[in-house]
């Protein structure tokens, strides 16, 4: 499979500033950068040749709105977004209930060396069961998670662009984790009603025996002969949260070898559906820091559902209050677990990286 991509980068983005340094001086006003590349390799799955060209055209000829309206057979038009560095390929799929990309194609598109590069592909599909839209995701390994917190913020910003909406907006979105309600707020960030956390051990799911009201809270988990204290929470997708080992000192998350320890949690036999794993450091009752190993994506810069699960676990273990700033490698999220409705609210950014096209 050869990949030919045309990428338009908004001039406000850091990426565009770095790429324009490769271009000769242009006198055209308000340019949008387009990068066209064709790659071919000896790999039987994906062939790559170095043949690249760059061009600049006026913004009025390649506006985001006109770009998203394009319909060409065999060509996938997409927008790349990121939420705190957790990046996604967003696809307008509103004309069909079936994703335009297969899981196998998603793996190739997400490849950071031979593809576009992303943590996953997200599809905006027609709503079902009375919702405005449906969101589906294929991870970079081709698996399909139930939900993604950073992804749903990117999804909400994508919808406002597709529909040319302005100001505060609120949507109902059907996901594999149930109903999710994102809202664009005044500062351009996205606040998402993530619903209620699932704490019953069998529903997370985990085979660890419940030790507190049918839940697993600060229970021992043996990983390669080391006992970690873990709390298990589902945000529609499974999470295992740990603040450190049994009898150990406070966890210093920056010192972890995540690539080594993360898969051992993800694939542990007590998690029949695998698990996302969050390693957490507590600064104050309202300030936490986490690193995450995501099921199906590995180490990522941010995980929205993970940040929500972390605050739930911190409250259950008596380590934090219900409203916390959670620092992730890509930046902070504000997470509130409201006592009055038991819902979790996540607030954070979602930003455009570039617009592109690729043949499938």
- Angstrom distance (rounded) from CA 328 to CA 321: 18
Spot the catalytic one: 148, 154, 240, 324. Answer: 148
**Phi and psi, residue 293, nearest 5°:** -110, 110
Within 81-192, residue ranges assigned H as helices are 103-110, 149-162
Compute the distance between CA of residue 17 and CA of residue 132 in angstroms, rounded to an integer. 36
Count of Cβ atoms closer than 10 Å to residue 112 Cβ:
11
Q: Which entry of 110, 232, 303, 324 is annotated as an active-site residue? A: 303
Residue 149: partners with Cβ closer than 8 Å, 6 or more residues away: 83, 192, 194, 235, 303, 304, 305, 306, 307, 308, 346
Residue 172 structure tokens: 């109902």
| Catalytic (active site) residue 303 | yes
124 vs 121, 134, 166, 307, 343, CA distance in Å?
Answer: 10, 6, 19, 24, 24
Residue 324 falls in the annotated catalytic set: no
| Terminal CA-CA length for the chain | 8
Catalytic residues: 148, 303
């Amino acid at each position: 499979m050869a990949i030919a991509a045309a990428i338009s980068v908004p001039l406000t983005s850091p990426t565009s500033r770095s790429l324009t340094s490769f271009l000769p001086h242009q006198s055209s006003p308000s340019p949008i950068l387009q990068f066209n590349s064709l790659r071919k390799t000896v790999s039987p799955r994906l062939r790559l040749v170095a043949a690249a060209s760059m061009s600049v055209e006026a913004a009025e000829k390649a506006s985001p709105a006109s770009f998203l309206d394009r319909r060409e057979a065999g060509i996938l038009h997409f927008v790349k977004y990121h939420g705190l560095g957790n990046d996604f390929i967003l696809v307008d799929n509103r004309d069909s209930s079936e994703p335009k990309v297969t899981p196998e194609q998603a793996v190739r598109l997400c490849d950071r060396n031979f593809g576009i590069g992303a943590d996953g592909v997200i599809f905006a599909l027609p709503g079902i069961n009375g919702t405005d839209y449906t969101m589906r995701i294929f991870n970079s390994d081709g698996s399909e998670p139930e939900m993604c917190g950073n992804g749903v913020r990117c999804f909400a910003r994508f919808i406002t662009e597709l529909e040319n909406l302005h100001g505060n907006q609120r949507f109902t979105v059907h996901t594999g984790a149930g109903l999710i309600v994102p809202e664009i707020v005044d500062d351009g960030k996205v606040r998402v009603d993530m619903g209620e956390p699932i704490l019953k051990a069998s529903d997370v799911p985990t085979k660890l025996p419940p030790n507190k009201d049918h839940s697993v809270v600060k229970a021992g988990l043996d990983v390669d002969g080391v006992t970690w204290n873990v709390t298990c929470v589902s945000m529609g997708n499974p999470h295992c949260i740990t603040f450190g080992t049994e009898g150990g000192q406070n966890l210093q998350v920056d010192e972890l070898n995540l690539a080594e320890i993360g898969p051992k949690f993800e694939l542990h036999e007590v998690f029949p559906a695998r698990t996302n794993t969050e390693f957490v450091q507590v600064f104050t009752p309202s300030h936490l820091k986490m690193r995450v190993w995501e099921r199906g994506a590995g180490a990522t810069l941010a995980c929205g559902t993970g940040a929500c699960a972390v605050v739930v676990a911190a409250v259950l273990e008596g380590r934090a209050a219900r409203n916390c700033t959670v620092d992730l490698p890509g930046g902070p999220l504000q997470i509130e677990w409201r006592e009055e409705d038991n819902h979790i609210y996540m607030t954070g950014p979602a930003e455009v990286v570039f617009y592109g096209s690729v043949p499938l």
